[in-house]
């Protein structure tokens, strides 16, 4: 279970507070969505969960499986099962996709006390997953994400998620830059990973993605706090009414 | 103003010790005259200072506090296993191996198959026996170079490699220069590589160290390369001497028409390294690709200085050098490209890129294009940057521990230069050497 308790976060080199006492609980087996306008702190929450530098948690805590992850390095969090699908997946020139995936998988397996995968075993492991995401193995021989279209990057991101077998998946604006076909492939990939051992947090600006990945709960985030929570129908409500009433309340 | 030039302690020692050293150096009366001439040129030039434009960022006069003596005439015994260990990953490359210990040919450690395609002889032997050996020491086009003058004066031994015309070598020639002397010492090595018309060959110079060798050393090495018409030579140098010494290197390359020359240099773990490469196009249609990686940490200073002289039309030059600097390390890249008035249709491109991983490291880059022809395509670029922290985070968020993430990203940065090495086994060995360096292991066995 993910438990975020009264989380206050500011930028490390600025005084401006971004998350202002955020509370959120996601039990395993559930998919929650956070929706909110630009600048509400959604991406900050995603980065703070993954352990990116540059943010300072001034109060509150984040527990995963009952354990605070705030003091953990990003790689320790990954080993504990935390995965962030980036809004803008990064290009790594000079590192072949397969090399990157194998290095990551084996680092995580090692940290989890599992034996590392040999190259042939790894290839078997990755091949089926890549095919389901419509990713050609030749594409993975190229440097990570270099020259990929927006849709290819997002599919590659979901492949990373699948091979790392996380238990907490955070998807930051995964629908941005996707056409309708890519959106369906990515959503199918995410849905295939839904399981009772896994909690998922889908961060999005638009309701569109939530037609494909139907959440158990929807939270409205405005100005660094959850302002309202409800079931999947809340997303449709928001699509009609927008965030204006929450913004007015927050201000 | 007329000022008497004061000689430094090192300059004085280099001049004075020549008289006694000369008697032990190989060569006929003609060779001795060559050496004397070189020594008097050195006397007039002195060690280069930063006021000499080509040495602006590497003040050798200031850096070289003293001249070290020649190594003991009886070189320390090195066993084949010692050489294997010193070579590290390079030992696995199948090659014609020729070994020099402290600058002296070691026949019992060398394994050369004489199959009519390649001949390797000891320079010392040739200087003593061959009437036409003077040309082996010739560097008349570089009379103003004090380091080369010292090399000619003191050259004790080296490899003379001859590749027969039309030969296609099935394996590289690996020249191994092992530093073994347990007392600080000076050695001058002179190699000559001549590639016959239409031949295909790979020649590697590997400078390595035995674990018990003295930290301090001075090496002055020069390789004269002549690539015949239509021949292709891949020429590599790995400078992995591990220690507090000075490595001064010169490659003097002359290319015949339609020749193809691919030079690559990997430098890691020498306190002061100066790698000069001078290429002259002597015939139309030739192409060069010079590349390399220099890896510096601590107080290391690594200088790469190129002079590419397009003297004739229709030649192509490509240069790509990648540097990684940590701590207080300093990297220097000077790339001079001369395009003579007649050298129309010259195509030259140059790039130097450095990762600066500490606020205290320094990179000096000086591209110089001297273009006297009007129908040419020439360009150059230089970048220096720190690792992209967003990329480091991206890797770490995928579970890759920080040191490994950084090493992976640095390796990918160097990788672009390593890709220039076409020989698969050599490229893998070089990648492994860089990989070891990045993880603070001795690049090539032994203790770093």
Q: Which two tokens stand for residue A208?
A: 């569109």
Interface residue A74 vs chain B (CB under 8 A): yes
| Partner-chain residue, chosen from B394, B400, B401, that has the shortest CB–CB distance to A90 | B394
* Residue B122 Cα distances to B178, B185, B189, angstroms: 15, 21, 11
Helix (H) or strand (E) holding B154: helix B146-154
Q: What whole-number distance in Å separates Cα of residue A29 and Cα of residue A135?
A: 27
User: Is the separation of the CB atoms in B88 and B433 below 8 Å?
Assistant: yes
**Rounded Cα gap, residues B423 and B128, in angstroms:** 36
Tell me the C-alpha to C-alpha distance, in Å, between residue B116 and each of B108, B130, B165, B166, B167. 21, 20, 10, 11, 9
Q: Which two structure tokens, joined as six digits, stand for A58?
A: 């001034």
Q: Look at residue B421 in the predicted model and tell me its pLDDT.
A: 95
Q: What percent of chain A has pLDDT over 70?
A: 99
Which residue of B293, B388, B399 is the best one to mutate when testing the A interface, meaning the one whose CB has the most A CBs within 10 A? B399
Pairing of strands B118-122, B159-163: antiparallel
Query: Which of B288, B245, B287, B247 has the alpha carbon at shortest distance from B266?
Result: B247
Round to whole Å and give the CA distance between B233 and B169. 10
- Report pLDDT for B76: 67
By the 8 A CB rule, do B258 and B227 touch? no
Torsion of the alpha carbons at B4, B8, B9 and B11, rounded to the nearest 10: -90
Nearest CA-CA partner of B121 in B197, B178, B173 = B173
Out of A84, A103, A143, the one facing B397 most closely (by C-beta) is: A84
Mean pLDDT confidence for B265-272: 94
Whole-number Å distance between alpha carbons of B90 and B175: 11
Task: Average the pLDDT over each of A156-160, A193-197, A205-209, B352-356 and give the range with the smallest value.
Answer: A205-209
CA distance A1 to A200: 10
pLDDT bin (cut points 50, 70, 90) of residue B360 is very high
Residue B1 clears pLDDT 60, i.e. is over it: no
Residues with Cβ within 8 Å of A212's Cβ and at least 6 positions away in sequence, in order, are: A183, A184, A187, A188, A191
Arithmetic mean of pLDDT, B24-30 = 91
Taking only the tens place, the pLDDT of each residue in B290-304 is: 999 999 999 999 999
The mean per-residue pLDDT over the stretch A147-167 comes to 94
3-state SS of chain A: helix, strand, coil percent to 5? 40, 30, 35
3-state secondary structure of A178: coil
Could you tell me if B202 and B426 are in contact, meaning their C-beta atoms sit under 8 angstroms apart?
Answer: yes
Indicate the pLDDT class of residue B447, thresholds 50, 70 and 90: very low
- Per-residue model confidence (pLDDT) at position B19: 87
φ, ψ for residue B25 (rounded to 5)?
-80, 145
Residue B167 has pLDDT above 50, yes or no: yes
B54: nearest Cα among B158, B124, B145: B145
> Quick one: average pLDDT of B325-331?
96
Euclidean distance between CA atoms B220 and B148, whole angstroms? 8
Residue with tokens 């060798």: B213
Write the pLDDT tens digit of every residue in B42-93: 999 999 999 999 999 999 999 998 889 888 776 667 899 999 999 999 999 9
Report pLDDT digits (tens) over A5-46.
Answer: 999 999 999 999 999 999 999 999 999 999 999 899 999 999
Interfacial residues of B (vs A; Cβ cutoff 8 Å) = 389-391, 393-402, 404-405, 408-409, 411-413, 415-416
* Cβ contacts of B443 within 8 Å, gap of 6 or more: B88, B240, B242, B268, B269, B433, B434, B436, B437
Q: Enumerate the β-bridge partners of residue B185.
A: B217
CB B239 within 8 A of CB B275: yes
Q: Which of A183, A189, A139, A185 is nearest to A163 (CA)?
A: A189
CB B57 within 8 A of CB B396: no
Alpha carbon B168 to chain centroid, angstroms: 24
Closest CA to B34 of B161, B162, B159, B132: B132
- B218 against A241, higher pLDDT: B218
Nearest-angstrom CA–CA distance, B188 and B156: 6
Nearest residue in A to B408, CA atom: A95
Q: Which of B398, B410, B427 to mutate to test the interface with A (most CBs of A within 10 A)?
A: B398
List CB contacts (< 8 A) between A50 and chain B. Answer: 393, 397
Over 80: is that where the pLDDT of B446 sits? no
Distance from the A90 Cα atom to the nearest Cα atom in chain B, whole angstroms: 7
Q: Which residues of A touch B395 (CB under 8 A)?
A: 92, 100, 104
Contacts for B146 with CB less than 8 Å, ≥ 6 apart: B41, B42, B45, B46, B47, B48
The two tokens of residue A245 are: 């009433």
CA separation for the pair B308, B337 (Å, rounded): 5
From first CA to last CA, the distance across chain B in angstroms is 48
B373 pLDDT more than 80: yes
Rounded-to-integer distance, Cα B446 and Cα B242, Å: 9
**Rg of chain B in Å (alpha carbons):** 21
SS3 of B357-423: the string is CCCCCEEEEEEEEEECCCCCEEEEEEEEECCCHHHHHHHHHCCCCHHHHHHHHHHHHHHHHHCCCCC
Taking the Cβ of residue A75 and every Cβ of chain B, the question of whether any pair is shorter than 8 Å is answered with yes
Asked whether the predicted pLDDT for residue A113 surpasses 70, the reply is: yes
Query: β-strands A225-230, A217-222: how paired?
Result: antiparallel
8 Å CB contact of B395 and A92 = yes
Residue B162 and residue A164: Cα distance in Å, rounded?
Answer: 55
Pairs across A and B, CB distance < 8 A:
72
CB under 8 Å to A100, separation ≥6 — which residues?
A92, A144, B395, B398, B408
ipTM: 0.96
3 state DSSP class of A81: coil
By percentage, how much of chain B surpasses pLDDT 70?
96
Confidence of residue B442 (pLDDT cuts 50, 70, 90): low
Q: Which residue has the higher pLDDT, B2 or A114?
A: A114
pLDDT one-digit tens code per residue, B116-150: 899 999 999 999 988 788 899 988 888 899 999 99
Predicted TM-score (pTM) of this structure: 0.86
For residue A131, give both structure tokens. 């095919």
């Amino acid at each position: 279970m993910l438990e975020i308790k009264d989380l206050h976060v500011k930028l490390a080199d600025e005084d401006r507070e971004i998350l202002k006492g955020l509370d959120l609980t996601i039990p395993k087996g559930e998919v929650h969505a956070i929706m909110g306008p630009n600048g509400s702190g959604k991406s900050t929450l995603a980065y703070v969960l993954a352990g990116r530098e540059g943010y300072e948690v001034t109060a509150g805590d984040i527990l995963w499986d009952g354990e605070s992850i705030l003091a953990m390095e990003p790689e320790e969090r990954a080993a504990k099962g935390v995965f962030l699908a980036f809004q803008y997946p990064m290009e790594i020139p000079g590192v072949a996709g397969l090399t990157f995936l194998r290095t990551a998988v084996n680092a995580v397996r090692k940290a989890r006390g599992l034996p590392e995968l040999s190259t042939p075993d790894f290839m078997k492991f990755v091949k089926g997953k890549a095919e389901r995401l419509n990713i050609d193995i030749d594409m993975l021989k190229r440097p990570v994400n270099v020259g990929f279209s927006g849709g290819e990057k997002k599919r590659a991101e979901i492949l990373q998620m699948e091979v790392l077998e996380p238990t907490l998946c955070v998807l930051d604006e995964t629908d941005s830059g996707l056409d309708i076909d890519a959106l369906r492939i990515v959503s199918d990939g995410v849905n295939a990973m839904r399981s009772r051992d896994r909690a998922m947090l889908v961060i999005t600006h638009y309701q569109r993605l939530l037609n494909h990945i139907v959440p158990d709960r929807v939270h409205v985030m405005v100005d660094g706090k959850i302002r309202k929570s409800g079931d999947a129908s809340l997303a449709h409500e928001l699509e009609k009414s927008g965030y204006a009433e929450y913004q007015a309340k927050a201000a | 103003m007329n000022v008497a030039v004061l000689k430094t302690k090192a300059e004085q020692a280099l001049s004075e010790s020549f008289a006694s050293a000369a008697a032990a150096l190989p060569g006929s009366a003609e060779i001795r005259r060559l050496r004397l001439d070189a020594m008097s040129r050195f006397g007039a030039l002195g060690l280069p200072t930063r006021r000499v434009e080509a040495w602006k960022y590497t003040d050798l006069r200031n850096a070289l506090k003293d001249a070290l003596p020649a190594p003991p005439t009886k070189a320390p015994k090195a066993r084949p296993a010692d050489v294997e260990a010193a070579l590290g990953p390079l030992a696995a490359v199948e090659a014609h191996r020729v070994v020099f210990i402290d600058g002296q040919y070691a026949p019992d450690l060398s394994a050369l198959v004489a199959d009519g395609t390649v001949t390797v002889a000891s320079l010392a032997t040739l200087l003593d026996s061959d009437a036409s050996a003077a040309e082996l020491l010739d560097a008349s086009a570089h009379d103003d170079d004090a380091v080369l003058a010292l090399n000619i004066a003191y050259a004790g031994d080296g490899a003379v490699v001859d590749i027969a015309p039309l030969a296609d070598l099935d394996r590289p020639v690996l020249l191994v220069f092992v530093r073994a002397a347990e007392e600080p010492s000076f050695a001058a090595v002179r190699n000559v590589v001549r590639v016959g018309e239409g031949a295909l060959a790979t020649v590697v110079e590997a400078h390595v160290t035995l674990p018990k060798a003295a930290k301090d050393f001075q090496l002055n090495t020069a390789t004269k390369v002549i690539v015949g018409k239509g021949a292709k030579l891949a020429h590599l140098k790995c400078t992995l001497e591990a220690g507090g010494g000075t490595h001064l290197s010169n490659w003097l390359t002359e290319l015949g028409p339609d020749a193809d020359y691919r030079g690559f240099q990997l430098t890691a773990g020498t306190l002061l390294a100066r790698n000069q490469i001078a290429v002259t196009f002597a015939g139309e249609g030739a192409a060069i690709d010079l590349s390399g990686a220099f890896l510096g940490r601590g107080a290391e200073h690594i200088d790469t200085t190129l002079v590419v002289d397009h003297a004739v039309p229709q030649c192509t030059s490509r240069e790509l050098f990648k540097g990684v600097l940590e701590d207080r390390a300093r990297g220097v890249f000077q790339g001079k490209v001369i395009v003579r008035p007649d050298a129309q249709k010259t195509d030259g491109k140059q790039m130097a890129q450095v990762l600066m991983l500490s606020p205290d490291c320094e990179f000096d880059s000086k591209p110089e294009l001297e273009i006297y022809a009007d129908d040419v395509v020439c360009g150059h670029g230089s970048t220096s940057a720190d690792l992209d922290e967003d990329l480091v985070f991206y890797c770490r968020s995928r579970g890759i521990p920080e040191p490994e993430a950084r090493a992976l990203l640095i390796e990918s940065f160097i990788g672009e230069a390593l890709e220039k090495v076409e020989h698969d086994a050599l490229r893998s060995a070089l990648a492994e050497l860089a990989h070891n360096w990045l993880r603070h292991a001795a690049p090539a066995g032994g203790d770093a």
